Structure 1
């Protein structure tokens, strides 16, 4: 293995992991977002729909 190949392999693995992490995050966000304000608040705050309702809910 050449030095060039070693460096290329060392850089490739973390890059692929980051790409997979982004893909998973986007898939999770897509499942949550449905165009409703409550969905936006849930994604941004990390609160569940029940927790939002418990503190007064959201008028949409």
Structure 2
């Protein structure tokens, strides 16, 4: 069943572990993902923690 969402009305947010190499050292970061329900477009950003600054 198709879903419909009004523009700007809903979004999904998630965090996941992301391992990256920083100056030759394997480092654990947090991948922040925000996906808009209407368009399906997503934004991904890596942060050192899952703190509130990642969401804001």
TM over 0.5: no
TM-score tier, shorter chain, comes to under 0.3
Higher Cα Rg: structure 1 or 2?
1
Could you say which structure has the higher helix fraction? 1
Could you say which structure has the higher strand fraction? 2
TM-score under structure 1 normalisation? 0.20
Higher relative contact order (CA 8 A, sep 6+): 2
TM-score under structure 2 normalisation? 0.21
